[in-house]
Amino acid sequence: MNPVFMERWSPRSFSDQPVDADDLAAVFEAARWTPSWMNNQPWHIVYATKDADRQAIVNTFMEFNREWASAAPVAGLVIAKTELEGRMASTRDYDVGAAMMALTLQATMLGLSVHQLGGVELDDAHELLGLDPATGSVLTGFVLGHRGDPSQLSDSQQAKEHPSDRKPVTEFAAEGTTFPF
């Protein structure tokens, strides 16, 4: 297995060092090449690096995420198209998740970190973007950047600043045709 999978984790400490424009372009290019049902590419990623816009995105995150996420030099929201029908609609979130995994692994290969977060005030995010939920649905937020000094985090956040344990493969994958879990 490629070590990038084990190197990737979701830190909360980020430095304020800007992300190089070429690196930022590379992570979005990785998302671009993600496979999707019928090449539908149902994802949209809105991000900001400029202070006012970046902070506006961070302000849509739930308060417990704002505490640490505001230090990251890139903040974004991940949107899925909602104007899909049939099979494309049923695979939409799967495809968007795959695009974010590609983005995250590319960032890891570049020495960057991504922390995706579900703790987003969805109504606030839709309002900020002027996004009609009939057109697109905010699924997650994320921050991206260089890892920072964990001692700058609150004590409760410092305690979480390490890779999470993973379930053993036997808890989620099984050969055969019977659902064993």
Q: How far from each other are the two terminal CA atoms of the chain, in whole angstroms?
A: 25
49 found inside a domain? yes
Q: Residue 158 falls within a domain, yes or no?
A: no
Query: In whole angstroms, what is the distance from residue 174 CA to residue 181 CA?
Result: 9
Q: Which helix (H) or strand (E) holds 128?
A: helix 122-129
For range 29-53, the mean pLDDT: 95
- Answer whether residue 176 is part of any domain: no
In 3D space, the residue among 174, 165, 71, 60 whose CA is nearest the CA of residue 122 turns out to be 60
* Per-residue pLDDT tens digits for 112-157: 999 999 999 999 999 999 999 888 999 999 999 999 999 898 898 9
> What is the reported pLDDT for 132?
94
How far is CA 167 from each of CA 70, 76, 80, 87, rounded to the nearest angstrom? 30, 28, 28, 30
How high is the pLDDT of residue 97? Answer: 97
Closest C-alpha to 86, from 42, 43, 44: 42
Residue 75 lies in a domain: yes
- Two tokens, residue 134: 């009939």
Of the listed ranges 19-28, 70-79, 157-166, the least confidently predicted one is: 157-166
| Half-sphere exposure for 12 (CA within 13 Å, toward CB) | 21
- The backbone region for 38, taken as left when phi is positive above 0, alpha when psi lies in -120 to 50, beta otherwise, is left
Handedness of CA 28, 29, 34, 40 (dihedral sign): positive
What mean pLDDT value characterizes the chain?
94
| Residue-level pLDDT at 136 | 94
- The helix or strand, by DSSP H or E, that contains position 77, with its residue range, turns out to be strand 74-81
By mean pLDDT, which of 12-21, 38-47, 84-93, 158-167 is the weakest?
84-93
pLDDT band at residue 179, thresholds of 50, 70 and 90? confident
Render pLDDT for 79-116 as a digit per residue (tens, 0 to 9). Answer: 999 887 777 788 999 999 999 999 999 999 999 999 99
Does the residue 92 lie in any domain?
yes
Query: How far apart are alpha carbons 2 and 12 in whole angstroms?
Result: 24
Half-sphere exposure of 144 (CA within 13 A, CB side): 31
* Residue 172 belongs to some domain of the structure: no
Does some domain include residue 118? yes
One-letter identity of residue 126: H
Which structural domain range is residue 141 located in?
A: 4-149
Assigned domain for 19 exists: yes
What's the pLDDT at 90?
A: 87
What count of other Cβ atoms lies within 10 Å of the Cβ of residue 88?
16
Tokens (6 digits) for 52 = 């006012």
CATH (domain of 60): 3.40.109.10
Give the number of domains in the chain. 1
